Amino acid sequence: MLIKIIIGILLIVMIYNLFKAMTVMLKDEPKQANMSKYIGRRVLTSVAIVLVILIAMATGLIEPNPRPY
């Protein structure tokens, strides 16, 4: 259950960074942070999600679906 909560929180962070990048892109203010900062955070969050899933599968905390259909 803890793994699902961690992945859920990371997904919320990823969506937040995606929308933050969109607002920065739509506003043309030179004093604001670059859009690439938020897109980079989104990519790092995606990498963290994949790593959490792989580590959880390797340690046996979660099991992949043996038959996907």
Higher pLDDT pick, 33 / 22:
22
The domain ranges of the chain are: 2-25+33-59
pLDDT per position as a tens digit, 27-50: 877 777 788 888 999 999 999 999
Model pLDDT, residue 48: 95
**CA angle (30, 36, 39) in 5-degree steps:** 135
Which string of DSSP letters, residue by residue, matches 5-63?
A: HHHHHHHHHHHHHHHHHHHHHHS--TTSPPHHHHHHHHHHHHHHHHHHHHHHHHHTSS-
**Token pair 């340690």 in the structure block, residue:** 59
pTM of this prediction?
A: 0.80
